[in-house]
Amino acid sequence: MQTKPLSQITLFTMGRANLEKRLSKFYEDSSDADSTLQYLVAVLVRQCLCISDFSDFCGDLVREILLFAEPSDVLRKLAPLFRASFKSGKEWEAVTRRLYKNKNEYHRYNNRVSDNKKYLFSSTTPAEKMDGQYKIVSTFEDAVGKIHTWSLRDADSESSGMKIDAALELLSSLTIFEKDGIRRFVKLENSDIFNCTRYPKVRHGVVLETSAKNSVDVVAEAPSQTPAQQPAAFDFSNLSEAEKLALVKMLLPEGMVLTDARMTELGDEAKTESPATVAQKAEPNSAGSTSAVKEKPKAERKKPAEIPVHKKNSYSNYQKPKSEKQRKREEKDELMMKREKGKGGVGKKKDRKRNRRK
């Protein structure tokens, strides 16, 4: 008589004591080590995400399978997850010798599940510190691409998106869950924590980080820099005078240049003092003796056209030429003035002649 396999409802809802009895009975009746060990991995996933205590679940059954069952690929793949079930180092060495060809092969299988192990055995929130009932609701693709929903009660409200993703990735590697001959858990799509509010954790295979006390989605961010990691302020005291001047020149606006403020004062004195005295006063500039001035644009100036030698001393009349009308008016005025002058002159001569006669 074929032993009936355990359903996902049995594995994820039944209490610890009854579930231990069911698993032991299944292995005793079927001797199916591969399926039994996969059932035990499903319980590890439940322990990781729930507040219920399933630590050291079916420890004797795990040791019996790994120490005496016929080696297989499933046992080699999943055995590293049950290292904690073996208190004796000699027993674990016996497991690795019979399941793996050498240590390198064991380390290869162990590395494949090392990321899952990091979250799988992390601590959960104690039941007395929970502020209500939570559950994890996830959607998976099956072997033919159809979406189905799976939920887990008594969930830990503080489970991070990374932890849920690592645990459910391990669940999707199991082949024991089927419906109508089609494998159920193939690819994780979405996952949320629910009570009265939904807290998204995974969206389309991408992990989100949210706080169970805050319903706003927050993408995981890199940790902020500590004061020790932040870059220190630049110390300008280590720069030489030449380097300081070069830095100031680089920061000046376009068209501005540095000039020596002291050289302006020396300009007038240099006319009366000897060159040696001026050179002695004009020492190298310090950082405080320079000022920024506007530099005149260097535009090319056109030279005035040269005047021919024979015209340099000649007089040039720049008076505006008279119009024809103005010229006629002036000629007419001049003629009238001559007539009046002539009349006056003739009359005076006649008067003088009359006076002489008398």
Provide mean pLDDT across the span 46-68. Answer: 93
Residue 314 pLDDT grade (very low, low, confident, very high; cuts 50, 70, 90): very low
pLDDT at residue 136, rounded to an integer = 96
Question: Are β-strands 135-141 and 147-153 bridged in parallel, bridged antiparallel, or unpaired?
Answer: antiparallel
Dihedral angle, C-alpha 248, 250, 254, 256, nearest 10 °: 30
**SS in 3 state form for the chain?**
CCCCCCCHHHHHHCCHHHHHHHHHHHHHHHCCHHHHHHHHHHHHHHHHHECCCCCCCCHHHHHHHHHHCCCCHHHHHHHHHHHHHCCCHHHHHHHHHHHCCCHHHHHHHHHHCHHHHHHHCCCCCCHHHCCCCCEEEEEEECCCCCEEEEEEECECCCCCHHHHHHHHHHHHCCCCCEECCEECCCEEEEEEEECCCEEEEEECCEECECCCCCCCCECCCCCCCCCCCCCCCCCHHHCCHHHHHHHHHHHCCCCEEEEEHHHHHHHHHCCCCCHHHHHHHCCCCCCCCEEEEECCCCCCCCCCCCCCHHHCCCCCCCCCCCCHHHHHHHHHHHHHHHHHHHHHHHHHHHHHHHHHHC
More confident call, 213 vs 81: 81
Phi/psi for 140 (5° steps) reads -125, 155
292 or 332: which carries more pLDDT confidence? 332
* Local confidence band at 91 (pLDDT 50, 70, 90 cut-offs): very high
Instruction: Note the pLDDT tens digit of each residue in 136-182.
Output: 999 999 999 999 999 999 999 999 999 999 999 999 999 999 999 99
Residue 229 is predicted with a pLDDT of: 44
